[in-house]
Amino acid sequence: MQPSIATMELTKRFGKLTAVSGLSIEVGPGEVVGFLGPNGAGKTTTIRLLMGFIQPTSGVANVLGGSAAREGAIRRRVGYLPGDFRIDPAMTGNELFSWFGELRQNYNRARIGELVERLHLDPGRAFGTLSKGNRQKIGLVQAFQHDPDVLILDEPTSGLDPLIQREFLDLIREAADRGASVLFSSHVLPEVERAAHKLAIIREGKLVTVSPVRQLLDRARHRLELRFAAPINAELFKGVPGVVEAEVRGDTATIAVDGAVGPAMEAALRGPGLLRVRSAGDDLEDLFISLYDQAPEVN
Amino acid sequence: MLSVLRQVLWRRRISTLWWSLGVAGFAALLALAYPTVRDNSELDKTFAGLPPGVQAALGLDPGSPLTSPVGYMNSQYFANVLPVMLLVFGIGLAAWCISGDEAAGTLELLLSNPVSRIRVAAERASSLVVLLAVLTLVSSATMALLAPAVGLSKGLSLGQIVAATTATGLLALSFASLAFAVGAATGRRSIAISTASTVALVGFVIEGLAAQVKVLQPIREASPWHWLLGTDPLRNGLTWQAWVLPVTVSVVLFVIGTAVFARRDLS
C-alpha cells in the first residue's frame, strides 16, 4: 500500500547549516510513527518540509502521494499541530474551530463538541487568557476536528497534564484504527511507547533508525533502583552481563542495563534480601545513548 | 467565501472603531477651528512672507490663502494630518498582513489549511483596501457634515472633499503596499515598516524641497506625494494622475511581493 507520508532522501540546508540530511521515512495508513530526537535534530524542519512551509534543498517530502505545499486538496485531509501552537490572543477556541471548519469546508460541530468535552476544554475563552495546557488543547482540537487522513503533530503533548495526555493517546489510536497515518514528534518516551507502532529516531538531521517500538525498547538502556534488607557489597553487579553502570550506596543499588535485564536480576537475588525494585523510567536520553553506542549494528 | 478577509475585518473591528474615532475627531477639530482662522487676515500676511519652499511644504500656494477654505483644508489637513494618520494606519496593517503574522508564529497554522499563499495575500491586501476606505469615508463624512456649519463649504463641493480624501487614501495605499510587499517578500515586519516609512518621509521632504530645488523636480514625478499634492484634488477633483498612478503602483507592488511570498521559505 502507498505510504501516506513519505520522505525520500530529504535534505534541507539553511546556509551552511544542514538541518535535515538524506532523510527517508514512511508512514503507512493506520500507522503511528513516533519521531524522536534531541533538540535541534531536525524534527521540526522535517515536519515543516512535509507541510510545505519550506522547500527542500533536495529530495522529496510527500503527503498523500503529492505535495502539501502545492495542493490545497491534500492539506484539507491533513491535521497539523505546530510545535509552538499560537493564535491571535483575542480569538476563542470556538472562533478558531468554526473559521478553520469553513476554510476546510468541513465544519463538524458534533465532532468538535466531542473533542472539547474529552479534552476538558472551555472553548469560549480567549486564547490569551488560557494556560499553556489549555492552549495546547485548542491546537489538538483544530488538528483532529475534521477527522483528517494524515496527522502531523509536533510535540503534541507538551503542557498537557497526564490525564489529558492519556486522552490524546486514545485520540491517536482511534485515528489510526480508522486508517489515518500519524507522525508525531516527542521527547517523552513512555507516551511514544504507548501510542506508536514504530519509532523514527534522528540525530543531527540524519536518520539513526526506524524500528518497531518494542524492538527498540528491548535494546534500550534501562535504569533500575534496587533496595535490599541490608547494606550490600559494592561488587555485587560487577561483571554481570548487560550492566553498564552500578552505583551502590548503603542498602540501595542503582544500575543501568543495556538489553535483557535477566542476568542483573539474578545477581540481585544473590544479595541480602531484595526488598524493592523501581524502574526509573525509560529515559529518552538513555535510549539515544544506547542507540548511538550501538549505531553500527542498528544500521 | 472570503473567510480570510472576513477574519481580518472581525479581528480589527475594535481597533478600526478607535481609528475611526481618531480620524473623525481630528477632522472635526480642524473644521471647528476654521471660523477663528477665516476672519484673521493677518495670518495670510504672515504666511505669505514665508519662503515658497516652506509654503509648499505647508500645503499652501499663492492662489489659495490660508483663510480660504481650500487653503485652510490643504495646509491644515490634506497635506499633513490626514496623510500621516492614514499612513501610520496603513503601513502598520500592511506590515502585519504577511510579515507580522509570520513573526507572531500564526501564519503557518493558517497555511496548513487548504488556502494558498496567493489567496491569503490577496484577501489580506483586500482588507487593507477596505479598512483604508473605511477611514477615508469617516474623514469625508465628518468634513461633509461640518463644512457647511463653519463656512468651509464656500466654494467647495462635497465631491471635491471626497476627491481630496480619496486621493489621500490612495497615497497611503501606495506606501502601505510597499510595506506589504517588503513584508511579504522578506517576512521581516521591522524591515517592512522602516522601508515604507523612510520612503514616505523622504518623498514628503523631496516634494517640499522640489519647489525650490530644480534637480529634485524629475524625482518627485515618481512620488505619490506629488501625485496627491501636485494635482490638488481639493480644487481640481480626482484627476487621472491622482488615482491611476497610485493604483498602478499598489498593484505592481502587491504582485511582486506576493510572487516572492508564494515561493520563499517561511521563517
Q: Give a yes or no: residue A36 inside a domain.
A: yes
Q: Give a yes or no: residue A299 inside a domain.
A: no
Nearest residue of B to residue A54 by CA position?
Answer: B265
Do A84 and A97 lie in one domain? The reply is yes
Q: Give a yes or no: residue A66 inside a domain.
A: yes
Q: How far apart are CA A228 and CA A262, in angstroms?
A: 18
> Measured between CB atoms, does B154 come within 8 Å of chain A?
no
Do A15 and A158 lie in one domain? The reply is yes
> Measured between CB atoms, does B104 come within 8 Å of chain A?
yes
Q: Give a yes or no: residue A64 inside a domain.
A: yes
Q: How far apart are CA A259 and CA A129, in angstroms?
A: 47
> Measured between CB atoms, does A51 come within 8 Å of chain B?
yes
Do A152 and A231 lie in one domain? The reply is no
Residues of chain A with Cβ-Cβ distance to B97 below 8 Å are none
The CA-based dihedral angle spanning residues B106, B111, B114, B116, taken in that order and rounded to the nearest 10 degrees: 130
Query: Under a CB-based contact definition with an 8 Å cutoff, are residues A272 and A228 in contact?
Result: yes
Of A51, A72, A86, the CB nearest to B114: A72
Do A149 and A194 lie in one domain? The reply is yes
Q: How far apart are CA A174 and CA A198, in angstroms?
A: 17
The CATH number given to whatever domain includes residue A102 is: 3.40.50.300
Span A20-65, pLDDT tens digits: 999 999 999 999 999 988 888 899 999 999 999 999 999 999 999 9
Do A210 and A174 lie in one domain? The reply is yes
Does the pLDDT of residue B223 top 60, yes or no? yes
- CB-based contacts of A155, cutoff 8 Å, min separation 6: A83, A185, A186, A187
Q: Which of A166, A190, A217 is the last residue before a domain boundary?
A: A217
Q: How far apart are CA B219 and CA B82, in angstroms?
A: 24
Q: Give a yes or no: residue A297 inside a domain.
A: no
Do A180 and A70 lie in one domain? The reply is yes
Query: Under a CB-based contact definition with an 8 Å cutoff, are residues A203 and A292 in contact?
Result: yes
Do A144 and A165 lie in one domain? The reply is yes
Q: Give a yes or no: residue A96 inside a domain.
A: yes
Of A51, A82, A102, the CB nearest to B3: A102
Residues of chain A with Cβ-Cβ distance to B104 below 8 Å are 86
Do A249 and A108 lie in one domain? The reply is no
Q: How far apart are CA A60 and CA B31, in angstroms?
A: 64
CA atoms within 13 A on the CB side of B69: 20
Query: Under a CB-based contact definition with an 8 Å cutoff, are residues A75 and A68 in contact?
Result: yes
Q: How far apart are CA B45 and CA A251, in angstroms?
A: 102
Q: CA of A154: how far to CAs of A22, A46, A51, A187, A281, in Å?
A: 20, 10, 12, 10, 23
Q: Classify strands A32-36 and A17-27 as parallel, antiparallel or unpaired.
A: unpaired
Residues of chain B with Cβ-Cβ distance to A85 below 8 Å are 109
Q: Please choose, from the candidates A71, A93, A41, A26, the residue with its C-alpha nearest in 3D space to the C-alpha of residue A204.
A: A41
Of A88, A100, A142, the CB nearest to B106: A88
Q: What are phi and psi of B155, to 5 degrees?
A: 80, 5
pLDDT at A284: 64
Q: Classify strands A252-258 and A221-228 as parallel, antiparallel or unpaired.
A: antiparallel
Do A257 and A198 lie in one domain? The reply is no
Mark residue B35 as left, alpha or beta (left: phi above 0; alpha: psi -120 to 50; beta: remaining): alpha
- Identify the domain containing residue A251 by its residue range: 221-281
A75–B112 C-beta distance less than 8 A: yes
Span B77-132, pLDDT tens digits: 998 899 999 999 999 999 999 999 999 999 999 999 999 999 999 999 999 999 99
Residue type, A233: N
Q: Give a yes or no: residue A257 inside a domain.
A: yes
pLDDT at A211: 86
DSSP A271: S
Do A182 and A267 lie in one domain? The reply is no
Does the pLDDT of residue B220 top 70, yes or no? yes
> Measured between CB atoms, does B7 come within 8 Å of chain A?
yes
Q: CA of B178: how far to CAs of A7, A197, A252, B130, in Å?
A: 38, 50, 70, 17
Q: State pTM to two decimals.
A: 0.88
Span B176-199, pLDDT tens digits: 999 999 999 999 999 999 999 999
pLDDT at A158: 87
Do A116 and A172 lie in one domain? The reply is yes
- CB-based contacts of A116, cutoff 8 Å, min separation 6: A93, A123, A141
> Measured between CB atoms, does B62 come within 8 Å of chain A?
no
Do A32 and A158 lie in one domain? The reply is yes
> Measured between CB atoms, does A103 come within 8 Å of chain B?
yes
What tens-digit pLDDT sequence spans chain A (299 residues)? 689 999 999 999 999 999 999 999 999 999 999 998 888 889 999 999 999 999 999 999 999 999 999 999 999 999 999 999 999 999 999 999 999 999 999 999 999 999 999 999 999 999 999 999 999 999 999 999 999 999 999 999 888 998 999 999 999 999 999 999 999 998 777 778 888 999 998 988 999 888 888 887 777 777 889 999 999 888 888 888 888 888 888 899 999 888 888 898 888 888 888 999 988 655 666 666 666 665 444 33
Q: Residue A210 in 3-state DSSP?
A: strand
> Measured between CB atoms, does B2 come within 8 Å of chain A?
no
Query: For residue A244, what is the enclosing H or E element?
Result: strand A243-249
pLDDT at A298: 39
Q: Give a yes or no: residue A254 inside a domain.
A: yes
A55–B109 C-beta distance less than 8 A: no
Q: How far apart are CA A157 and CA B219, in angstroms?
A: 58
Q: What is the domain count for chain A?
A: 2
Span B125-171, pLDDT tens digits: 999 999 999 999 999 999 999 988 888 888 788 899 999 999 999 99
